[in-house]
Structure 1
């Protein structure tokens, strides 16, 4: 995957240098927004960039008060919202990532680090769940959008 991203970068760099700075910025913002949408859809599907499913959560007792069963929520419901998953693009770079306090939570899951679930709780190792990453479809999207932008 990393090799194909570098190959795309080597291929696209000379073409992007020919564009005016305003055009590069417009293209970068458009690509960043589309990549964010793709990341959101993949997180909603609970899938890693390679297509494998996330490791499921540890089993918990979902019965709260007597007679009530809480709905089992998908992981990262709030993380995938636009308020937390930011997309930026200018004439020189595109970035899609998390900001603020949620960035720490995302980093712990992205790399499978140790953390506390709540203050005072013991440290536990979280399973690695790649929240952000390039799929083959994302690389194809970048290439296709660049070609479309250059031909118009």
Structure 2
């Protein structure tokens, strides 16, 4: 996440807190679930487009040594399975929304999110992975949260 994102999120939280306080816990949970689903969908679409939250493309994969020459082979995109709903989990309560990876998928995602060192396979040498932000807020995400909140309050 960029340097201004934390401030933007705090401003959004400060703006939304008094509005959310007027809702019952059940209404807050329903709103959180709706927003969480939209956030997860946005994250999945951004990962499929191979873009960081700031709009820059992911750094390309390291060239791999070809085992045999294959003509016309289609390059596969990164994280095709990782962005599936079974790996990208959504947890909501009346007070919070969490979208993230758990278990082995979480470890793989963390290595790429933070640009850490890891092994591609058991017994393989350590490799420093390029930083690719799988999860993060975009300006559109923050705008969507605000509009969903206002739409929900207008419907009451």
- TM-score, normalised to structure 1, is 0.95
| 2:12 equivalent among 8, 15, 18 | 8
Aligned partner of residue 101 in structure 1, secondary structure: helix
Task: Tell me how many residue pairs correspond in the alignment.
Answer: 151
**Comparing 37-46 with 70-79, which one deviates more in the overlay?**
70-79
For the residues of structure 2 that align with 1:35 and 1:88, how far apart are their CA atoms?
Answer: 12
The reply to whether residue 127 of structure 1 matches residue 133 of structure 2 is no
| 2:83 equivalent among 80, 83, 86 | 80
Structure 1 unaligned residues grouped into runs of 5+ = none
For the residues of structure 1 that align with 2:97 and 2:109, how far apart are their CA atoms?
Answer: 19
Aligned partner of residue 103 in structure 2, secondary structure: coil
**What residue number does 1:141 align with?**
144
Q: CA deviation at 1:125?
A: 0.4
- TM-score, normalised to structure 2, is 0.93
Q: CA deviation at 1:63?
A: 5.1
For the residues of structure 2 that align with 1:41 and 1:119, how far apart are their CA atoms?
Answer: 31
Structure 2 unaligned residues grouped into runs of 5+ = none
Aligned partner of residue 78 in structure 2, secondary structure: coil
The reply to whether residue 24 of structure 1 matches residue 28 of structure 2 is yes
For the residues of structure 2 that align with 1:149 and 1:6, how far apart are their CA atoms?
Answer: 21
**Comparing 66-75 with 3-12, which one deviates more in the overlay?**
66-75
| 1:45 equivalent among 49, 54, 58 | 49
Tell me how large the CA RMSD over aligned residues is.
Answer: 1.3
